[in-house]
Structure 1
């Protein structure tokens, strides 16, 4: 495996812990900052908002610079802004640092996805991209449980010290392992922005923002789901999260192979239906601790099979504008993050159980099916017109 791809995976690991560890330490943060768990859940949305803001803006700037320089700057931002979270004095400042921490996320994966595909062997582009996103899955397998353990037993602030250190390691690995690829500035920004005049591009954005939001309805409130519904102790949550991470590792590997083997749009229809069915099971059977453990693994697995197919779908739509397209996917993914955390929290505010966010997730997954079917219909109509 190329070291350059490992450097991207390390960045994915750092970003993955940054994004997902909040779900594990949410009760600890809420108690320490004296806010309710649903209010603390807005910290998840703040990070997602940072991604949505940063992804397009930083990619517009990045296109004028070599990928290595861009990735180094983004890794530096990631390390610095996460380190600020260590010293926040109150909830309001924490919201701000979470938003700032999200700024480099989308651009890093946007630039990284294009770089990974350029470094890949012919026909293995999706698998190369999945190596970068393997960092996200390893984060959930190892990093998030460790960060949750630290946050529960020591302090959630120490968790962000760990993230800051990983950000610095990402910076160093990119400096030594990433080749000096030329910038891809031959396509004008005006031409790249034409991507957003395509209905197909907006359908992929909706597929990502709404469909994948079902994942975040589940994972945003996984800690109280496990303790209040499944009956596990708070100290066991970090270990159970390893199961979710293991599922994500498996799902990411399966997803990369699926995207290189089958049409990504048809694959997504099946995956969204599986996700909706899985969330039905989570809602109905999480009260049983043994079934709950299986569902933690299966939901993690299904949720990460989406990534490569969605990336490849957008890259197919966005010929000549791959970098802005990949960043748009990351922004969309985190709109789903924000929507899932916010909409999933509404039943909790209304007094329903910690299983209730999964009902919202079911609806969002089925909306993903709808938007994917609409994409397929437009694609088939275009093919018929070409054959006439």
Structure 2
């Protein structure tokens, strides 16, 4: 009896140790994925913080320098489908390693660029891996966390990008101001090398992560609901960028605060994005449609408050947090719905989601700039974002009954 009891106790301890090891391994895999997205987010947002530095160094004015930022977004939009389809048969682990290597190369080229043409090309290369990385990362995260948690998996990968708006971008901007803008991109490339090593060590080697035929991925693009959902994403999320692009002027010229408040405002916006992303990940798995209605609907309320009372610092700062949080609540739902609509192409759907978000970047910044240039005031950019999000919500409300009923992810 004692022998049997002892053997049972040993077996229980062994199972417990195995479970602990699996949880630790799962956590390290998710950390590696989030670290990669942190690098990507830092590279993207830091360019906005050092635009004055590289424009002066390259001998161009700031409006011209924005072409380099647009080149990055263009790289994301073009690279998302092309890279994903071109690497359709690759194991997702191998694809992640390749994408991080391409990201490192793009940032090194950015650091050594001597003209706007070279710099724009380098930023284009840096942006190409982004969409495919989040697509492949979402597949790996879904494999690691298990079935029925697609929203949570995507949110975990997105966490690195949202944290980059709080920590990575301000630090990269500070580095550029103290050691030169070229060292910003070299530092990002160095961090990318660390992320590459983490992915190589901690992403599991398994046939379960093998890709599929290109035809299988392409078939998803023949589904009208997929394109409708991307339109919803591009329009609805545009208000994030209609606000984020002009946070500096909101702080100094509307609320009449010292420029030292700008990093605080940016950090609050990033904290809101991080909180909303985590909430949205859980909501998307339980209520695949309500997450988007909740996110866009509550965002409209916060945007209206910001547009009417943004001159008051006690409303401005909480509203910036609120815009970041409410809009990010919707993004995991968008990913879950895209994956449900095209389950045969999860990587491509993740990539196309990021492509749609970069289209939102361009639309939001352009719309906000247009209303300001038209003489309607700085806070008119917020109303521009309000209109775009409202339009996205209306498109979703009118088309969602025509899409297949979606069960929780």
TM exceeding 0.5: yes
Distance of 1:93 and 1:343 partners within structure 2:
28
- Of 377, 381, 394, which aligns to 1:370? 394
Is residue 355 from structure 1 mapped to residue 376 from structure 2 by the alignment? no
Is residue 302 from structure 1 mapped to residue 326 from structure 2 by the alignment? yes
Q: Deviations over 1:329-370 (max 9, x none)?
A: 111111111222233222344455333322221111011101
With 191-200 and 172-181 compared, the bigger mean Cα shift is at 191-200
Is residue 196 from structure 1 mapped to residue 221 from structure 2 by the alignment? yes
Q: Deviations over 1:162-182 (max 9, x none)?
A: 211211111110111111132
Q: Deviations over 1:44-102 (max 9, x none)?
A: 32211100111111111222222121111110111121122223334443322222211
With 73-82 and 342-351 compared, the bigger mean Cα shift is at 342-351
Q: Closer, same or farther in 2 for the Cα pair 1:41/1:275, shift >3 Å?
A: farther
- Of 136, 140, 165, which aligns to 1:115? 140
- Offset, 1:129: 2.2
- Of 63, 66, 69, which aligns to 2:94? 69
TM-score normalized by the length of structure 2: 0.86
Determine the structure 2 residue equivalent to 1:5. Answer: 30
Q: Closer, same or farther in 2 for the Cα pair 1:353/1:290, shift >3 Å?
A: same
TM-score normalized by the length of structure 1: 0.90
Gapped regions of structure 1 (runs ≥ 5):
384-388
- Of 135, 148, 159, which aligns to 2:173? 148
The 5-angstrom pairing of residues 64-213 of structure 1 reads 64-182=89-207, 187-213=212-238
Q: Closer, same or farther in 2 for the Cα pair 1:152/1:305, shift >3 Å?
A: farther
With 76-85 and 24-33 compared, the bigger mean Cα shift is at 24-33
Determine the structure 1 residue equivalent to 2:23. Answer: none
- Of 61, 68, 78, which aligns to 1:43? 68
Query: Of the two structures, which has the highest relative contact order with CA contacts closer than 8 Å and spacing of 6 or more?
Result: 1
How many corresponding residue pairs?
A: 380
Q: Closer, same or farther in 2 for the Cα pair 1:87/1:229, shift >3 Å?
A: farther
| Residue pair 1:45, 1:337 contacting (<8 A) in 2 also | no
Determine the structure 1 residue equivalent to 2:5. Answer: none
Determine the structure 2 residue equivalent to 1:386. Answer: none
- Runs of 4+ in structure 1 displaced over 6 angstroms? none
| Residue pair 1:38, 1:345 contacting (<8 A) in 2 also | no
Gapped regions of structure 2 (runs ≥ 5):
1-25
* Root-mean-square deviation (Å): 2.2
